[in-house]
A and B are shown apart, each in its own frame.
Chain A
């Protein structure tokens, strides 16, 4: 009970779905890759996504559609909300690589040159995001700060999807998750804290 492993994914538990995410992210780095019959150009997708405005312009890009199509085969429709996916694609394209060493929030707390990658103040602002738009811009900033170190793509997706579930619950005045360690803010804060021991 004292050991709540918050780095374990809650939504992306299925290996096949994780594989889809990782493959898709890899394909963003390549110009020519064949997926069944058609040739895809990941660099073009990435450029489109980086320029597109969240959320609606994101949802009309090829990259978004390709990922949505692939995930639809492995995931339950209830877990795969278009807005959550749009947020994820809008954010993750700013990462320079998929780094699976540690969870996403933990990576934000890792010290580089004696300072947290994302400062405590910025991290608190990230947690305090009230709308998907706010979250989107704050996440992009955080990912850019990670720079060459990259981020854990699956862990990032898990956090974003969980955050969106909670956001919808709030919109509809539904009850939030009772177990604090199933709430995204607690999970991120716990991970962040884990990599930056206080005192």
Chain B
């Protein structure tokens, strides 16, 4: 049994590059610059856990107080008081209530502790011998520190896993966006502090059960009526969701080395008990995730943006930073990003750190992590650039299907019947045109006024970059066999059609018009 507040359980790096373990009470130390978990998903989850702790323990009342602390540092004493107040909820061990675990004892059979890991093969994968990439029995013994982190990670990302296994309050495998300094060697507490939201009312201890769901018997979801919403819970429960009913078996232990961090421990945990119908969340807007909803249906709820194959491309950037819309959806940035966008006197350059799982129900397809290579810019400026950026992205979005279609027509006698996965074309497109898009973005940042000659010439360059990409990719991918001349007619016909369709696009003509040098104006007035 240990307390997540006072136990030194967080692996960190200090500014000399040394690794050690600290407790959250030591967070105010300027010399500590980074967390150092052995897994990327733990690293991302640990940030969210600590942001949640600070949000409860010492959230500022308003922006001014936020700014004062930013400049003067966290007061270790205030931090200690705030964290100690929530210590009763932060116990981890056999005795209930225990951190993120069910209040009652679960009457089910034990299973392997690897079930806490999101990418571990599930029951069906084991039965059908489908554990090709992540093998069974790779992770069977966890030290208590890693176990606590794994528990938080699975509850935060909670993917769908069969009947009654509830997803996290943002759905399965949400994308998290955190505001981060561009310089990596800033103190850890500052990296966390950038994501703290001012909060007028402080938390009373009587409200704890509304924030930490493990302090009371689980509001299980066998009945559809039993939903947890921001109205019948506390908004801060967002950081402490508990969609899974889990119980760690603290009595079955082994000594040895932890399979995750590799450190020796006398009481490694090996077994858990898990049950379906945990807490079902509805109607939450998590402060650390961007959201979207379809243009067609205004009544539908906001859905957190999820990981997708290929990761986040620059077409998604705008939606991560500002309220906007694309062809299909309204997009809304995470609340922490919105609040940070209004802060204009932070003395360091910031950017976005985006991460999350790409899940196919219970199957983890990939973990994606992006550091957006762009500094967050003031909202007012972003709004000025927004429409040009959106149209520029639309040019890319609408040109890509033309390329995919042209390649199919070049490759196959009957392109309509061609089966196969063409997503490689898409993924390559978004990744390989990103550099050009960044040029455009930077040029527009310098000259956000779309009428400025510089922004117009950047736009012209973007158009020709896209065109160049389409045709050079087509040529490279279609004329693959210099010895074979049989298919040349087909390839060349496809290429001709690509040129025609590309130039026919409405958005292209609109952008071309926008980008034309404005010399004729005088003539028009005559």
Residues 465-499 of B, flagged 1 when their CB comes within 8 A of A and 0 if not, give 00110111001001100110110110011001011
B485 with A185: CB separation less than 8 A: yes
Chain B residues touching A, range: 20 to 34
Query: Which B residue sits closest to A177, measured CB to CB?
Result: B482
A186 with B499: CB separation less than 8 A: no
With a CB–CB cut-off of 8 A, which chain B residues contact A193? 489, 492-493, 496
Query: Which A residue sits closest to B479, measured CB to CB?
Result: A180
B472 with A189: CB separation less than 8 A: no
Tell me which of A2, A124, A127, A128 has the highest count of chain B C-beta atoms within 10 A of its own C-beta.
A2
What's the minimum C-beta distance from B470 to chain A, rounded to whole angstroms?
Answer: 8
A-to-B contact residues, CB < 8 Å? 1-3, 120, 124, 127-128, 170, 176-177, 179-181, 183, 185-186, 189-190, 193, 198
Whole-angstrom CA separation of A3 from B470 in the bound complex: 12
Whole-angstrom CA separation of A46 from B468 in the bound complex: 47
What's the minimum C-beta distance from B14 to chain A, rounded to whole angstroms?
Answer: 51
Would you give 30 A-B contacts (Cβ < 8 Å), ordered by A? A1-B468, A1-B470, A1-B471, A2-B467, A2-B471, A2-B498, A2-B502, A120-B489, A124-B485, A127-B485, A128-B485, A128-B486, A170-B483, A176-B482, A177-B482, A179-B475, A180-B479, A180-B482, A181-B475, A183-B479, A185-B488, A186-B488, A186-B492, A189-B485, A189-B488, A189-B489, A190-B488, A193-B489, A193-B493, A198-B489
- Contacts A2-B471, A185-B485, A185-B488 known; list 19 others, CB within 8 Å: A2-B502, A3-B499, A124-B485, A124-B486, A124-B489, A127-B485, A127-B488, A177-B482, A180-B479, A180-B482, A181-B475, A183-B479, A186-B479, A190-B488, A190-B492, A193-B489, A193-B492, A193-B493, A193-B496
Secondary structure at chain B's binding surface: helix, strand, loop or mixed? Answer: helix
Whole-angstrom CA separation of A175 from B467 in the bound complex: 28
The 6 closest A-B pairs by CB, nearest first: A180-B479, A189-B488, A127-B485, A2-B499, A1-B471, A185-B485
- Within residues 169 to 215 of chain B, which ones have a CB less than 8 A from any CB in chain A? none
With a CB–CB cut-off of 8 A, which chain A residues contact B492? 186, 189-190, 193
With a CB–CB cut-off of 8 A, which chain A residues contact B503? 2
CB < 8 Å neighbour of B475 from A124, A180, A185: A180
With a CB–CB cut-off of 8 A, which chain A residues contact B498? 2
Whole-angstrom CA separation of A185 from B483 in the bound complex: 9
With a CB–CB cut-off of 8 A, which chain B residues contact A2? 467, 470-471, 498-499, 502-503
Tell me which of B467, B468, B493 has the highest count of chain A C-beta atoms within 10 A of its own C-beta.
B493
With a CB–CB cut-off of 8 A, which chain A residues contact B496? 193
- Within residues 492 to 519 of chain B, which ones have a CB less than 8 A from any CB in chain A? 492-493, 496, 498-499, 502-503
